[in-house]
Chain A
């Protein structure tokens, strides 16, 4: 449980950072003249929290293979896109401009989601390399007993 929480918090903060970057890039491209108040600082946190919901809903009861994990991640990603697009654009009239913005947001969410997974993978790679080094040392020690 502690590890799961740690993992989720790590994903959350990576997401928030990437959402900030995405908001900067999308804002510059689509609405360069738009002005915001201080409440805008809350948005990455809210979007980050919404992005965590699929991780809480789609849970694994048993140990998944790598392929099953990839499928589960794809399902979570689609759910995240749907939730965020519904949260940001839900209730707005469907116009061409809104659709373009929604598509850009959806693409950004996909990029952010993949980014979070890739960054997580690189962090795990560092741990795995350390574990392999420790393993070699452990095996040498056991063989020399």
Chain B
């Protein structure tokens, strides 16, 4: 596949164009990757609005009808619901691990046992999030992928 990068004027809008015979899974994968790098979400902190890159999100947690977006050192509140995050975040890298948490799989450093068939994910910032027993099979399937 040939890759072309062309410099454009600062006044012009940046774009990515893919030339292909047909849109197959490989092309879709590239599109999802670009969207992940380019995607963002609006969130709030101290009544100020921020744009957060999707790839920076460690996990999203729903607490009492409110959603909180956790980054390495910061936490923002979002007006979106958890199911909206599930739709928005690329399913390749994000996974629902309990009733209230969607985690970025790329930010997990280690998985350890908790009690009663649950697991703890140690994130890159040292925080732990719990994987409920109900979501463990889904996680196994996701991580094993085509290795099965």
Binding between chains A and B: yes
Q: Which residues of A pack against B, CB within 8 Å? A: 3-4, 7, 62-63, 65-66, 69-70, 73, 117, 120-121, 124-125, 127-128, 131-132, 134-135, 137-139, 141-143, 145
- Determine if B116 and A69 form an interchain contact, defined as CB atoms under 8 angstroms apart: yes
- Determine if A132 and B132 form an interchain contact, defined as CB atoms under 8 angstroms apart: no
Given A131-B111, A131-B140, A145-B33, the answer on whether A124 and B119 have CB atoms closer than 8 Å is: yes
- Determine if A142 and B144 form an interchain contact, defined as CB atoms under 8 angstroms apart: no
How many B residues face the partner with a CB closer than 8 A?
35
A101 to B134 alpha-carbon distance, docked (Å)? 41
Q: Main secondary structure on chain A at its contact with chain B?
A: helix
- 26 A-B pairs with CB atoms under 8 Å apart are A3-B117, A3-B133, A3-B134, A3-B137, A7-B116, A7-B117, A63-B99, A65-B130, A66-B114, A69-B114, A69-B116, A124-B113, A125-B113, A128-B119, A131-B140, A131-B143, A132-B111, A134-B147, A135-B143, A138-B142, A142-B92, A142-B93, A142-B105, A142-B106, A145-B29, A145-B33
A52 to B108 alpha-carbon distance, docked (Å)? 34
Q: Which residues of B pack against A, CB within 8 Å? A: 29-30, 33, 92-93, 98-100, 105-106, 108, 110-120, 130, 132-134, 136-137, 139-140, 142-145, 147
- Determine if A131 and B133 form an interchain contact, defined as CB atoms under 8 angstroms apart: no
- Determine if A63 and B98 form an interchain contact, defined as CB atoms under 8 angstroms apart: yes
B18 to chain A, nearest CB (A): 14
- Determine if A134 and B134 form an interchain contact, defined as CB atoms under 8 angstroms apart: no
